[in-house]
Amino acid sequence: MLSDKNVKLEDVAKLAGVSKTTVSRVLNHRGYLSQKTIDKVHEAIDNLNYRPNQIARQLHERKTNLVGLVFPTMNDPFFSQLETKLDSQLYKLGYKTLLGNSQNDPDREQNYLQQLLNHQIDGLIVGSHNKGLTEYNNLNLPIISIERHIADHIPVVASDNYLGGKLATQQLIDDGCKHIIHTNYPELIASTNQLRQNAYVDVMHKNNLPVTIYHIDFDSSLEDKISIIHQLFIEHPEVDGIFADNDTNANLIMQTAKKLGYKIPEDLKIVGFDGSKMVQMFLPELTTIQQSIDQMAEVAVELLEQRIEGNTEVKSVTLPVKLIKGSTA
Amino acid sequence: MLSDKNVKLEDVAKLAGVSKTTVSRVLNHRGYLSQKTIDKVHEAIDNLNYRPNQIARQLHERKTNLVGLVFPTMNDPFFSQLETKLDSQLYKLGYKTLLGNSQNDPDREQNYLQQLLNHQIDGLIVGSHNKGLTEYNNLNLPIISIERHIADHIPVVASDNYLGGKLATQQLIDDGCKHIIHTNYPELIASTNQLRQNAYVDVMHKNNLPVTIYHIDFDSSLEDKISIIHQLFIEHPEVDGIFADNDTNANLIMQTAKKLGYKIPEDLKIVGFDGSKMVQMFLPELTTIQQSIDQMAEVAVELLEQRIEGNTEVKSVTLPVKLIKGSTA
DNA sequence: ATGAAAGCGCTAACAC
DNA sequence: GTGTTAGCGCTTTCAT
């Protein structure tokens, strides 16, 4: 089989004995064409194993059918499920996915952003956790954000995090816990994660229970996370309930607690957050707040499509959460 | 801040009072330029918030700096770690990643392939499990395959799967197991997974032990997988050791076994395969054969780079595996 | 040290 | 029905 490199529309035209325009028309099913011409052109295309050059097309049409995805990492149950679904939904609309995993490094995120823009992407879906990347404000590009407020004009697709936090905390209280600790991000970044914490604080206050929060950075090493969790148990041996802001931390907390001799759920009850398929598979016993991850991806792509189509009235969307009852709380 | 859309090199040239050529030279640090001109141009670029159009550049240079990734899914511990590392390594070399998760659907894989090619990618890294996609044979494009034989001229990066299968089976035998069952893919597809099975069979024969293999399709639903595993226990209640061809199945087997009353490792010993970071985190007790996943990604990108640079002598590479001793075997 | 003009591969007015 | 021609935005000879 011959290579298709360097075979261009002009070559097809020559071989078929027609003009470039005609070939282009056949390719794009446009205008009137005699069947004879169509056949001739197709024959030439097959003979030469011709494949149209998208780059040239894109240059002309100013549309690349490329959508950028900027997330901290793929190697995480939540993000891998989200990105998988995003990719799959984008595919249905004819878009290809250009990856940009920032590892939550602001320099890298900025760099990715620049590069994606240079690639003339048609749209962007972001879910990175970086603080204060002002770049996004100045972009005249359809953007949808997931679980993070970026700028006023950028629609956000997010779970009902406050409700989630409420459900989680209430579950622990209903279980009879008196010393409930919450783990969350280290700072008030622009993430909607903060609402989980707000709900925890509100519910605790309403029940006259003491509020204790530990900060676990999403990006720190496994060792650092575990060390903070250890500290938590040393400083608060009385803890009898923990609401973790994500399932990965809930898992680490469970493992650490077991090592320290806590029985779950007898001595210590745990509620996580996310409810990804992967964690459900590996840790079905975990009681957790399940986000509609697949739906988030679906909605995000829908909204992006609307923005790309020119709709400037695209609104943010909040999606439901539900408590999945396992055996840890 | 003004939008950068539509701002082109020509606009910069006009504002700076120079020619397009000069601006291009400043941009690419080429040729002789007076400092004064350089400054003027930079000023104009900043003022207009100009960003060069990669598409136009690419059209001229016939290089897109895009690498396609074709894998079955990202929502899997092994693949998400692999793709994360691939993306990160490609990034270091200045390549962007174009995603193509085929869900192991041949139509979809073929379609992705076409589309990626149309996007004029510079190279391709594949790890999909589809049988007999002949498309790859005809491509005049640098390709590296991971854990799968595609065509004779395409280099493969793979683990030492035979050794892995040997280590796993031997461990179970050393543990005193007499009825060891192996789970693997349903057919002799072009996957290197088959070598794990071959090793199992060889070691079992050498020890005069009966060979029993169950087939679990990577792509079937969770329910179907679990149902096959149930069947395994019904048909072989005497089983005292299982070598699963991947950790995800090992996990399902463990969960099913526990539900059926087996104590692990007392009644039943289990060895998995893969050893991804995610499974290590969620299931640290699992004894498994660890592949050098990150290294696979590193090597694959290195080989691809060589192929892109024009080296046609690129050889396949086999990477080491090691047994990670948990408490399940 | 800088500019004019051709060309990368394709599409789309505008002819005929 | 089909062809001619002028771009899309950038790089790069070849002049000067």
Contacts for B321 with CB less than 8 Å, ≥ 6 apart:
B159, B160, B161, B163, B164, B167, B289, B290, B291, B292
- Return the number of CB contacts < 8 Å for A and B: 132
Q: Is-contact A167 A323, C-beta < 8 A? A: yes
| B266 C-beta neighbours (distance < 10 Å), count | 8
Beta bridge partners of A101: A71
CATH assignment of A161-292?
A: 3.40.50.2300
Please identify which residue in the block is written with the tokens 């293999």.
B213
Q: Both tokens of residue B24?
A: 């291009």
Residue-wise pLDDT tens digits, B162-206 = 999 999 999 999 999 999 999 998 766 667 889 999 999 999 999
Chain B residues with beta carbon closer than 8 angstroms to that of A101: 84, 87-88
Alpha carbons B10 and B33: distance in angstroms, whole number:
18
Nucleotide at minimal C1' distance from the B25 CA: D11
Candidates A45, A54, A49, A56; CA nearest to A22 is: A45
Whether A4-61 shares its CATH topology with A66-158+293-319 is answered: no
Contacts for A33 with CB less than 8 Å, ≥ 6 apart:
A22, A25, A26
Apex CA B292: angle with CA B286 and CA B294, to 5°? 115
Alpha carbons B147 and B157: distance in angstroms, whole number:
6
Query: For residue A185, what pLDDT is reported?
Result: 84
Q: Is-contact A271 A250, C-beta < 8 A? A: yes
Is the pLDDT confidence value at B133 over 80?
no
Domain boundaries, chain A: 4-61, 66-158+293-319, 161-292
Q: Which listed CATH number (3.40.50.2300, 3.40.50.450, 3.65.10.10, 3.30.1360.70) goes with B66-158+293-319?
A: 3.40.50.2300
Chain A residues with beta carbon closer than 8 angstroms to that of B98: 66, 96-99
C-alpha dihedral sign at A57, A59, A65, A69: positive
Beta bridge partners of A66: A96
CA distances (Å), origin B195, targets A278, B141, B160, B200: 27, 28, 9, 8
Distance CA A49 to C1' C10 in A: 17
Q: Both tokens of residue B287?
A: 């004894």
3-state secondary structure A153-198: CCCEEEECHHHHHHHHHHHHHHCCCCCEEEEECCCCCCECHHHHHH
Report the residue count for chain B.
Answer: 329
Chain A residues with beta carbon closer than 8 angstroms to that of B56: 59
Alpha carbons B308 and B122: distance in angstroms, whole number:
7
Whether residues A116 and B100 touch (CB distance < 8 A) is answered with no
Chain A residues with beta carbon closer than 8 angstroms to that of B80: 74-76, 80
In a mutational test of the A interface, the residue from B45, B91, B258 whose CB has the highest number of chain A CBs within 10 Å is B91
- As ranges, strand D nucleotides with an atom below 7 A of a protein CB are 1-5, 7-13
Whether residues A55 and B53 touch (CB distance < 8 A) is answered with no
**Element containing residue B12 per DSSP (H, E):** helix B9-16
Domain B4-61 class in CATH: mainly alpha
Strands of B269-274's sheet, edge to edge? B212-215, B180-184, B241-244, B269-274, B287-291, B321-324
Whether residues B96 and A74 touch (CB distance < 8 A) is answered with no
Whether residues A115 and B96 touch (CB distance < 8 A) is answered with yes
Q: Both tokens of residue A13?
A: 């035209």
Alpha carbons A67 and A62: distance in angstroms, whole number:
14
Full pLDDT tens readout for chain A, 329 residues: 334 467 899 999 999 999 999 999 999 998 888 999 999 999 999 999 898 999 999 999 989 999 999 999 999 999 999 999 999 999 999 999 999 888 878 888 888 888 888 888 999 999 986 666 677 777 778 999 999 888 888 999 999 999 999 999 999 999 999 999 999 987 666 678 899 999 999 999 999 999 999 999 988 899 999 999 999 999 999 999 999 999 999 999 999 999 999 999 999 999 999 999 999 999 999 999 999 999 999 999 999 999 999 898 999 999 999 999 999 99
Alpha carbons B134 and B123: distance in angstroms, whole number:
17
